[in-house]
Amino acid sequence: MKYIKQLDSLRTLAILTVIIVHWFPKDNSAYLVSAYINAPKIFFTISGFLITAILLKAKVKTETTSDKYRTIKNFFFKRALRIFPAYFLVLAIWFFTGPATEKISYKYFLTFTANIYIYKVQIWPALAHLWSISVEEQFYLIWPWLIIFSNRITTLMIIIISILTGIGAQFLNHNQFANILTINNLDGIGIGALLSFLLIKEPDYLLKKRKIIYWIAIICFFLSLIQLWFLPQTHHFGSGTFISIMTAGLLMYFISNGKNENYTFSSLFDNKLLMSMGKISYGLFLYHFLIPYYTYNAFTRIADFLHIPFSPTIRNYLWMLGNFIILLLLAKLSYHYFEMPFLKLKKYFKDGIQENQKILEPVPKNN
């Protein structure tokens, strides 16, 4: 299997929950459910899975130390080409056009340490959603060295320690901002990495045991329902880990059944609209926080001019609908005309394996 197409739909569903959390009122049931889902955990689990797979496959091609350094260098360049252009564009837009009352400390955003800054000041500044990009970049900075320069057993131990560290950090630090720290998200990254490691190194064993993964994911699903409906938000310990395990369960299910035309959930995860939105999910994530700042006054004037006879609540949802249409168009244009020219430069940094291609083929056990 060269590419797990269902991941695009999963990304879309995750980013929709992010938009709901940032746009909807907090007393809305959709907000409460979306906040619990904790979309960043989904993205971190997917990232741990894909990045580890890419590195493990590339590792097979690295016979010398110089090859290993070149592999890591190419990995950094390819990640930079994917993340940096649109990310720094958002910062530039905010710098030149953002409200004077919503200034941010740019040095932290420019150095991908925004999550540390937000934890330090204990407030949500403008562009706070970019904290998750900081976590991703901190992960990219360290993970390749650990995977490329470790043997099989050491790699597995690193992954297991990462999972336990992430869980332990959540148990020890109950600060409301703790979940934006990289150490608190190592469980999700590690769970995705563990699935990738087993899939590539022990594919036959993993496929035999896949039902165990499904049952663990199902148990986590019901535990999540219990937390969501019966416990106050302050007692949702482990909810992020549950979400990561469920995400890994879905990944395993897609791998095992995704090639079938009529598998369970195929109508959802094989939906062409969701898959196409998944292609532009990065743009949807980056720009969704900006749009309301620039459309609110214009929408209010238009609504007043047209004498729209709706309550403030209905007007608010119409405004969000208009924002979403603008967001789709902006993300689409950004992907094709701004991000894609940079993505095409990845061809100059080839080695090991190309992203999204053949990541699921097993590799020799001595690597």
pLDDT in tens, 195-221: 999 999 999 999 999 999 999 999 999
Give the whole-angstrom CA distance, residue 246 versus residue 254.
12
Of 97-101, 164-168, 181-185, 227-231, minimum mean pLDDT range: 227-231
Looking at residue 160, its amino acid is: I
1 in a domain, yes or no? no
Can you tell me which residue has the tokens 């020219």?
341
User: Over the stretch 219-248, which tens digit does the pLDDT of each residue have?
Assistant: 999 998 888 887 766 556 678 899 999 999
Q: What pLDDT is recorded for position 1?
A: 44
Query: What is the number of domains present in the chain?
Result: 1
Which single residue is written with the structure tokens 């109950």? 174
- 243 within domain boundaries: yes
Q: What is the mean pLDDT of residues 2-11?
A: 90
**Statement: residue 109 has pLDDT above 60:** yes
178's tokens: 């703790």
364, part of any domain = no
Residue 60 has a pLDDT of: 85
In a domain, 365, yes or no: no
Q: pLDDT-based confidence at 65, cuts 50/70/90? A: confident
pLDDT of residue 362: 54
Residue type, 84: F
Which residues make Cβ contacts (< 8 Å) with residue 116, sequence separation at least 6?
A: 108, 134, 181
Checking if the pLDDT of 260 tops 60, the result is yes
Q: Is residue 356 part of a domain?
A: no
In a domain, 355, yes or no: no
Question: For the chain, first and last CA: distance in Å?
Answer: 21
pLDDT of residue 290: 94
80 lies in which domain range?
Answer: 6-348
Name residues whose C-beta falls within 8 Å of residue 187's C-beta, 6 or more positions apart in sequence. Answer: 162, 163, 164, 165, 166, 167, 170, 240, 241, 244
Nearest-angstrom CA–CA distance, 90 and 283: 10
CA distances from 258 to 47, 351, 361 (A): 19, 28, 15
DSSP state of 125: -
Residue 366 has pLDDT above 70, yes or no: no
- Does residue 200 sit within a domain? yes
Asked, for residue 191, whether it belongs to a domain, the answer is: yes
- Of the candidates 128, 133, 24, 145, which has an alpha carbon nearest to the alpha carbon of residue 86? 133
Computed over every residue of the chain, the mean pLDDT equals 90
